[in-house]
C-alpha cells in the first residue's frame, strides 16, 4: 500500500505534457514499483537463504557494550509497543490536544504565508554557478555592450499578400508600427521574410523572465494581425508565459487525480472517510511550510550567501510541482505506515488513545530512521551548484523534516485524540464496502462484532 501511494503521487506528473515532468513521473513510478516488487519477492528469498546469518554482522552487541547498559525489563516492555519514549510523547500530546493542534497548525500556516506572494519564472544563466564560463559571457555581453535590436520576443507574421508586394509591405509595416508603439517595447524590426511570411524581432530591455515581460507578450498578442493574415508570438518570454499557463491549467487536474486516488486507497486501507481527509490536510500544511520556505529563501534571496546561489526574484515554476509529487507520496507513505499500526491496535482494543500511543511507539523510530536516510540522500541535492537542483533539495529536506517530526509526532496524535471514535467513521454503505473490499494485513476479522461503529452503523 505504501509503495502504491507513492507511485500514484508520482503518476500525477503524467498529466503535464512537458517532457521533463513526464519523464520524472515515469522514472519515479518505475523506481518505486520495482523496489516494491523486489521487497515482496527478492528480499524474502534472500532472507530465507541467509537465515540466522542475516544478523552475523549486527552492531547491536557492540552498541550495548559501548553504552554499557544491558536490555532491561523496561526495554522489553517498550518492544511490545505499549511503553517507551514515543508512547510517552503521544500520551503527553493527547493530554493537551487542543493546545498542540492550534499551536502546530499556527506555526505551519505562518511558515506557509510567504508562498502567498510567490512569483513564478523560468531558468536563465543565473541558475549556473557565478564562475561558469557561459554565464560570465552572457552577463558580460548584457552589461558591456549596447542592447541589440534582437529581443527576447519574436513574431512570425503571415500576410494575405507577399511581403515584397506593395499591399503586403504596407500591411506588415502597419503591424510593426502598432507593436512598436506599445509601452515597454523598445523597438520592432523585420529581420527576415520569405514569401508572405515575415520574422519580426521585438526588443525589450528588462528581465525577459519577469512578470512585466510576460504581460508585454499578452499585450503584443492582443494587437490585431494584418487583414487576412496571422501573427504568432514566440521567443524566450513567450515560451515561459505559455509554460506557466499550461502548468496553471493542468495543476488542478493533477491535484484532483492524486487526492482522489489517494483518498480511495486510504479508505480501503483504514475503512474511514475521516482519516483520508485529515491526511490530505496535514500534507497541505507540511507542503505549505516547505513552499513558504522556498519563497523566503530563493525568491527573496535569504540564505543566498550560505547556500551559494544568485537570487532572481522568482521561483522556477516546474520545481515546486516536482517537489509536490514526491513529498506528497512520501508523506502518504509515512501516513500509511503509522496509521496501519494504529488501526491494528484499535481493532484489538477499541481504545483510540492507547491505539495512537502504541502505533506511534512501534513506528516512530522507523519513520525517523527512514526520514534521516532520505535527508542524507536529498542533502546532496542542496549542495548542487545548479540553483533549481538546489531548490529541490532544500524544499524536500524541509518538507520531510516537518512531516516526520512536527506532523507525525505532534499533530497526528493531537488530532486523533480530538476526533476520538470519529477517526474511524464511515456511513453504512461505505462500512460494508470496506468490510468486503478493504485492504488488510491479516485474514482475520477486521471489524470485531463488539464495535459496530467501525462498520458505519452509528
Question: Can you read off the three cell numbers belonging to residue 431?
Answer: 462500512
Q: What is the mean pLDDT of residues 394-414?
A: 89
Contacts of 233 (CB under 8 A, 6+ apart): 153, 154, 155, 217, 220, 221
177 and 114 share one domain: no
Instruction: Name the one residue in this structure whose C-alpha cell is 523534516.
Output: 401
Any domain includes 398: yes
Contacts of 454 (CB under 8 A, 6+ apart): 271, 347, 424, 431, 447, 448
pLDDT number for residue 150: 59
Domain hosting 213: range is 153-234
* pLDDT score of 277 more than 50: yes
159 and 287 share one domain: no
Q: How confident is the model at residue 67 (pLDDT cuts 50, 70, 90)?
A: low
What tens digit of pLDDT does each residue of 1-34 get? 778 888 888 999 999 998 889 999 999 899 989 9
pLDDT number for residue 101: 93
d(CA 341, CA 366): 12
Report the chain's mean pLDDT, rounded to a whole number: 84
Residue 160's CATH number: 3.30.70.1430
Share of the chain above pLDDT 70, in %: 90
Residue that finishes a domain, picked among 197, 212, 234: 234
d(CA 96, CA 107): 17
pLDDT number for residue 74: 43
Most confident of 156-160, 328-332, 364-368: 156-160
| Contact call for residues 116 and 300 (beta carbons, < 8 A) | no
Any domain includes 43: no
Question: Can you read off the three cell numbers belonging to residue 34?
Answer: 520495482
| Contact call for residues 447 and 435 (beta carbons, < 8 A) | yes
d(CA 455, CA 421): 12
Most confident of 55-64, 110-119, 325-334: 110-119
**Is the alpha carbon torsion for 277, 282, 283, 288 positive or negative?**
positive
422 and 377 share one domain: yes
pLDDT number for residue 453: 43
445 and 319 share one domain: yes
276 and 210 share one domain: no
Instruction: Name the one residue in this structure whose C-alpha cell is 462498520.
Output: 455
* pLDDT score of 404 more than 90: no
Q: How confident is the model at residue 382 (pLDDT cuts 50, 70, 90)?
A: confident
Q: How confident is the model at residue 78 (pLDDT cuts 50, 70, 90)?
A: very low
* pLDDT score of 145 more than 80: no
d(CA 88, CA 207): 55
Q: How confident is the model at residue 346 (pLDDT cuts 50, 70, 90)?
A: confident
d(CA 50, CA 230): 72
d(CA 162, CA 440): 72
15 vs 66: which has the higher pLDDT: 15
d(CA 381, CA 322): 14
pLDDT number for residue 50: 85
d(CA 103, CA 92): 15
205 and 277 share one domain: no
Query: Cα angle at 260 between 255 and 263, to 5 degrees?
Result: 120
| Contact call for residues 402 and 290 (beta carbons, < 8 A) | yes
Q: How confident is the model at residue 147 (pLDDT cuts 50, 70, 90)?
A: low
| Contact call for residues 366 and 396 (beta carbons, < 8 A) | no
CA-closest candidate to residue 8, choices 336, 290, 296, 307: 336
pLDDT number for residue 15: 92
pLDDT number for residue 63: 66
Q: What is the mean pLDDT of residues 201-209?
A: 87
What is the domain count for the chain? 2
Any domain includes 396: yes
225 and 346 share one domain: no
pLDDT number for residue 181: 92
d(CA 162, CA 169): 8
186 and 119 share one domain: no
271 and 353 share one domain: yes
Give start and end residues of each alpha helix (H) in 165-273. 166-180, 211-222, 236-270
pLDDT number for residue 371: 85
pLDDT number for residue 442: 57
* pLDDT score of 448 more than 60: no
For 438, phi then psi, to 5°, come to -60, 150
d(CA 452, CA 192): 78
What tens digit of pLDDT does each residue of 208-237 get? 888 889 999 999 999 999 988 999 999 889
Give start and end residues of each alpha helix (H) in 318-386. 318-349, 352-382
* pLDDT score of 146 more than 80: no
Any domain includes 66: no
168 and 255 share one domain: no
Strand order in the sheet with 187-194: 187-194, 197-203, 153-158, 230-234
Residue 432's CATH number: 1.20.1640.10
Q: pTM for this structure?
A: 0.80
Q: Which long-range contacts (CB under 8 A, 24 or more apart) does 244-253 make?
A: 244/120, 244/214, 244/317, 246/16, 246/17, 246/18, 247/16, 247/18, 247/317, 247/318, 247/321, 250/15, 250/16, 250/17, 251/321, 253/15
**Is the alpha carbon torsion for 324, 325, 326, 332 positive or negative?**
positive
377 and 420 share one domain: yes
CA-closest candidate to residue 360, choices 39, 76, 93: 93
Q: How confident is the model at residue 80 (pLDDT cuts 50, 70, 90)?
A: very low
**Is the alpha carbon torsion for 29, 34, 40, 43 positive or negative?**
negative
CA-closest candidate to residue 389, choices 289, 316, 306, 314: 316
Q: Which of 72-86, 351-365, 405-419 has the lowest mean pLDDT?
A: 72-86
pLDDT number for residue 217: 94
Q: How confident is the model at residue 384 (pLDDT cuts 50, 70, 90)?
A: confident
| Contact call for residues 64 and 70 (beta carbons, < 8 A) | yes
339 and 213 share one domain: no
What tens digit of pLDDT does each residue of 285-302 get? 999 999 999 999 999 999
Amino acid at each position: 500500500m505504501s509503495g502504491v501511494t507513492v507511485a500514484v503521487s508520482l503518476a500525477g506528473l503524467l498529466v503535464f505534457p512537458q517532457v521533463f515532468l513526464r519523464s520524472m513521473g515515469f522514472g519515479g513510478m518505475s523506481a518505486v514499483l520495482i523496489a516494491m516488487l523486489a521487497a515482496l519477492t527478492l528480499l524474502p528469498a534472500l532472507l530465507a537463504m541467509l537465515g540466522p546469518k542475516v544478523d552475523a554482522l549486527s552492531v547491536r552487541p557492540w552498541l550495548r557494550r559501548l553504552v554499557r547498559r544491558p536490555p532491561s525489563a523496561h526495554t522489553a516492555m517498550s518492544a511490545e509497543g505499549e511503553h517507551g519514549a514515543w508512547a510517552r510523547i503521544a500520551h503527553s500530546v493527547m493530554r493537551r490536544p487542543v493546545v498542540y493542534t492550534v499551536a502546530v497548525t499556527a506555526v505551519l500556516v505562518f511558515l506557509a504565508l510567504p508562498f502567498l506572494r510567490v512569483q513564478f519564472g523560468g531558468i536563465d544563466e543565473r541558475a549556473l554557478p557565478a564562475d561558469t564560463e557561459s554565464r560570465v559571457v552572457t552577463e558580460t555581453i548584457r552589461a558591456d555592450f549596447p542592447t541589440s535590436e534582437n529581443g527576447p520576443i519574436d513574431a512570425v507574421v503571415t500576410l494575405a499578400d507577399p511581403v515584397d508586394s506593395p499591399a503586403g509591405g504596407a500591411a506588415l509595416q502597419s503591424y510593426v508600427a502598432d507593436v512598436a508603439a506599445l509601452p515597454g517595447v523598445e523597438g520592432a524590426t523585420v529581420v527576415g521574410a520569405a514569401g508572405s511570411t515575415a520574422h519580426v524581432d521585438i526588443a525589450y530591455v528588462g528581465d525577459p523572465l519577469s512578470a512585466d515581460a510576460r504581460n508585454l507578450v499578452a499585450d503584443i498578442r492582443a494587437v490585431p494581425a494584418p487583414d487576412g493574415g496571422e501573427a504568432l508570438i514566440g521567443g524566450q518570454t513567450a515560451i515561459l508565459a505559455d509554460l506557466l499557463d499550461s502548468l496553471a491549467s493542468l495543476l488542478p487536474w493533477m491535484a484532483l487525480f492524486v487526492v482522489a486516488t489517494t483518498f480511495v486507497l486510504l479508505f480501503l486501507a483504514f475503512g474511514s472517510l475521516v482519516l483520508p481527509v485529515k491526511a490530505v490536510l496535514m500534507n497541505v500544511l507540511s507542503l505549505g511550510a516547505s513552499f513558504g520556505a522556498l519563497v523566503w529563501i530563493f525568491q527573496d534571496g535569504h540564505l543566498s550567501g550560505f547556500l551559494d546561489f544568485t537570487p532572481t526574484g522568482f521561483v522556477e515554476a516546474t520545481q515546486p510541482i516536482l517537489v509536490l509529487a514526491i513529498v506528497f507520496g512520501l508523506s502518504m507513505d509515512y501516513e500509511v505506515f503509522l496509521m496501519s499500526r494504529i488501526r491494528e491496535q484499535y481493532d484489538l482494543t477499541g481504545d483510540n488513545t492507547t491505539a495512537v500511543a502504541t502505533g506511534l511507539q512501534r513506528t516512530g523510530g522507523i519513520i525517523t530512521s527512514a526520514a534521516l536516510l532520505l535527508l542524507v540522500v536529498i542533502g546532496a541535492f542542496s549542495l548542487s551548484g545548479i540553483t533549481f537542483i538546489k531548490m529541490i533539495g532544500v524544499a524536500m529536506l524541509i518538507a520531510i523534516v516537518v512531516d516526520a517530526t512536527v506532523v507525525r509526532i505532534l499533530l497526528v496524535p493531537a488530532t486523533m485524540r480530538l476526533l476520538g471514535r470519529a477517526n474511524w467513521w464511515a456511513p453504512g454503505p461505505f462500512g460494508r464496502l470496506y468490510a468486503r473490499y478493504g485492504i488488510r494485513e491479516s485474514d482475520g476479522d477486521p471489524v470485531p462484532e463488539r464495535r459496530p461503529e467501525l462498520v458505519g452503523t452509528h
